[in-house]
Structure 1
Amino acid sequence: MINEEIRAREVRLVGPNGEQIGIKPFREALQMAVDANLDLVNVAPQAKPPVCRIMDYGKFRYEQQKKEKEARKNQKVVDVKEVWFRANIEEHDFQTKLRNVVKFLKDGDKVKCSVRFRGREITHAAIGQRVLERVKTEVQELSVVERQPKLEGRSMIMILGPKTGQ
């Protein structure tokens, strides 16, 4: 809240340079802000009495937006990439898909490894389990298992996350 939006009889006032002015009646604090050609900003409304600061509110908002933008720029959005395997996958196909898993993990993305069972393959879920266990052992130095292999419907799913501190 700024200027006339503040609803308090008296406020603890902080000057434009951060110095403590003391407890003042609201009207007097507002007049001091107007005289300095600045705004009276309520920085701690829950305090008794509320703490208000004399500052340029437009400049303050601009600085806050700049800080938020910088913080968003430094964030890394983690995607979940999915790699499908088959229960009876051939060696070359397995290596190709494994290269994709390694690439995704090195890029810092999570990887959802899935084995899709078709037809009567579902009766041999242990074969799909072995495929996922092999993937896990092949990339154990790059990843951490976030979710162990688990059968969900006609798919067995395992989630790998990149190891931190690389």
Structure 2
Amino acid sequence: MRQELPRINERIAKSSSDLVRVIDNRGEQLGLLTLKAAIEEAQKVNLDLVLINEKSEVPVCKIVNYSKYKFDQDKKAKDLKKKQQNTSLKEVKMRYKIEEHDYQVKQNQTIRFISSGHKVKVTINFRGREIQHTNLAMVLLNRLANDVKDIAEIQQNPSQEGRNMIMMLVPKKK
């Protein structure tokens, strides 16, 4: 997704009224000027006239150093992109008859996912007559939730959906 470059100087499309609201390089309003007069004001101080907001009733332009303005806009966009949190859903599957070492592996996997900022869906799958032991699966999910309670909180309590029991964990807010 590429950001559209702002229009400057003669590239500013003439509106129906041909008037623009002009802000100088110190942030003070110069008022409504014709496009030609605004460009001349910018050229007097060896700067550019940049279209800031064309959607308002009277387009708003600012007298700035275009390269510095563009650099600042790119820097803001980069900072916003950094601050976006890319959370995705990771799934940890296990059986209710899990051995201790295998449980530790699944617990460490869950901790690694949560520490990376991901949501974790913990699923216990039942086969055949195992569905009778939902209470053991509930105990196992509650144990896992208790083991990771320092870094994660439960978004969805353990619940049965068909032949699966599911619990959702999310990272704790700092």
TM-score range, shorter chain: 0.7 to 0.9
Structure 2 SS opposite 1:149: strand
Match among 57, 66, 70 for residue 57 of structure 1: 66
Paired position in structure 2 for 1:112:
121
Aligned to 1:5, the other structure's residue is in SS state coil
Q: 1:135: how far off?
A: 1.2
1:67 equivalent to 2:70? Answer no
Q: What TM-score comes out, normalization by structure 1 length?
A: 0.79
> The residue matched to 2:117 in structure 1 has which SS?
coil
Supply the distance in 2 between the matched residues of 1:12 and 1:99 (Cα, whole angstroms). 60
Give structure 1 stretches of 5+ with no counterpart.
none
Give the 5 Å matches for 1:32-51: 32-51=41-60
What SS is found at the alignment partner of 2:22?
Answer: strand
Match of 2:156 in 1: 147
Residue 91 of structure 1 corresponds to 100
Summarize deviations over 1:82-111 as a string: whole Å, max 9, x none.
221102222332233223323333343322
- State the secondary structure of the residue aligned to 1:68: helix
AA aligned to 1:5 is: A
Closer/same/farther in 2, CA of residues 19 and 25 from structure 1, 3 Å limit: same
Structure 2 equivalent of residue 124 of structure 1: 133
Show CA shifts across 1:49-92 (max 9, x none).
33211223343223211232234345543343322110222233
Mapped partners of 2:22, 2:100: distance in 1: 73
* CA distance in 1 between partners of 2:142 and 2:129 (Å): 21
Give 3-state SS (helix, strand or coil) of 2:129's partner. helix
What is residue 5 of structure 1 aligned with on the other side?
13
Paired letter, 2:93 = W
Using the TM superposition, name which of 14-23 and 28-37 deviates more: 28-37
% identical aligned pairs: 38
Aligned to 1:135: 144
Distance 1:132 1:46, change over 3 A: same
Distance 2:57 2:115 in 1: 52
Offset of 1:160 from its aligned partner? 0.8
Name the CA distance, whole Å, in 2 between partners of 1:6 and 1:159.
Answer: 55
CA contact (8 A) 1:118 1:154 kept: yes
Count of residue pairs brought into register by the alignment: 165
CA contact 1:81–1:110 (8 Å) conserved in 2: yes
Equivalent-residue separation in structure 1 for 2:14 and 2:154 (angstroms)? 52
Cα distance between partner residues in 2 of 1:69 and 1:48: 30
Please say if residues 6 and 42 of structure 1, whose CA atoms lie closer than 8 Å, have aligned partners that are also in contact. Answer: no
